[in-house]
Amino acid sequence: MNQSTQKIPAHAAGTFKIAGEIEINRLGFGAMRIVGKGVWGEPADRNKSLATLKLTQELGINFIDTADSYGPFISEDLICEALYPYPKGLLIATKGGHTRHGPDIWRPIGNTDYLRQCVLMSMRRLKCKHIDLWQLHRVGKDVSPEEQFEAIAQMQKEGLIRHIGLSEVDVEMIERAKKYFNIVTVQNRFNLFNRHSEDVLNYCEKHHIGFIPWAPLNAGKFAESTSVLKEIAHQKDATVNQIALAWLLKRSPVILPIPGTGSPEHLRENVASVHVNLTDHEFERLNQAGEKEWQKMKEMMNLSR
């Protein structure tokens, strides 16, 4: 895709209103990849990560998703260093409830005192008086989900959290959480290749809940097994990743992709996906091919058990 289209801001992706009141451009930025390998420690090139964050504003991205476990803590520190004082209209969402014990090691903790600490420390690192969108990174198994939800609802009542989201939950868990607070976003793994959360996406669409697909770029593996993605990418003068993002944006108006990177060049490439217009026929071809690969993956997973 040529350089001229890459300069057009992310608002070309259309907008979505979180909780019906916070309007954001649908293509956001995931801040997991701005830290070190294994989502652990400092980035290999700190200046490059800071430059990537600053470029988000030039490209019209007004939704940044992070978590206290990215680094841990380093992603939030970098966001503050690069963007504070924050531009008007920028929504920084963060998550808590996932502890770290080393590179690529994650352990959910639902202890309510710990969750409160997560919120308070994120507020300190991001230099904000409250968190506009705080998401429970995982529902911990050490205490009941209801205890966690009650504690989160209390923090919202106290004004520490404005809006609440969940991550990696099924429809049943969403319904349980709804008894305690209004859920404005759900962040589950979903992409052209992985349809595990299709029912959750459909639920979110029905209830106008923002659906944030993490790992939205699984196109590389998909491209190895089918020619459809490569064919359409060639026809559109685009990369396979851009086609994968364009498919997500067309799949549902509540989908808010947050492709992450620590590279300004890669960020420009991701944002350029908002200018890829898939026809209904192209979308359906991709959809069918992706569903076919997903069925193959499920069969392999069942055989390995």
CA-to-CA distance for 257 and 191, rounded, in angstroms?
Answer: 9
Closest listed residue to residue 18, CA positions, set 202, 203, 182: 182
Residue-level pLDDT at 298: 82
**Which residues constitute the domain of residue 225?**
3-303
Residue-level pLDDT at 2: 45
CA-to-CA distance for 46 and 188, rounded, in angstroms?
Answer: 28
Q: What is the CATH number for 94?
A: 3.20.20.100
**Residue stretches of the chain with pLDDT short of 70:** 1-8, 219-226, 303-305
If one counts the domains in the chain, the total is: 1
| Contact (CB, 8 A) for 261 and 267 | yes
Six token digits for residue 294:
């997903």
Dihedral-angle region of residue 98 (phi above 0 means left; psi in -120 to 50 means alpha; beta otherwise): beta
Residue-level pLDDT at 5: 47
CA-to-CA distance for 298 and 305, rounded, in angstroms?
Answer: 11
Query: Is 94 exposed, middle or buried (CB count within 10 Å of its CB: 0-12, 13-18, 19+)?
Result: buried
pLDDT in tens, 66-102: 999 999 999 999 999 999 999 999 999 999 999 999 9
pLDDT in tens, 195-241: 999 999 999 999 999 999 998 877 556 555 568 999 999 999 999 99
Annotated catalytic sites, by residue?
70
Tell me phi and psi for residue 210, to 5 degrees. Answer: -65, 130
| Contact (CB, 8 A) for 75 and 43 | no
| Contact (CB, 8 A) for 213 and 65 | no
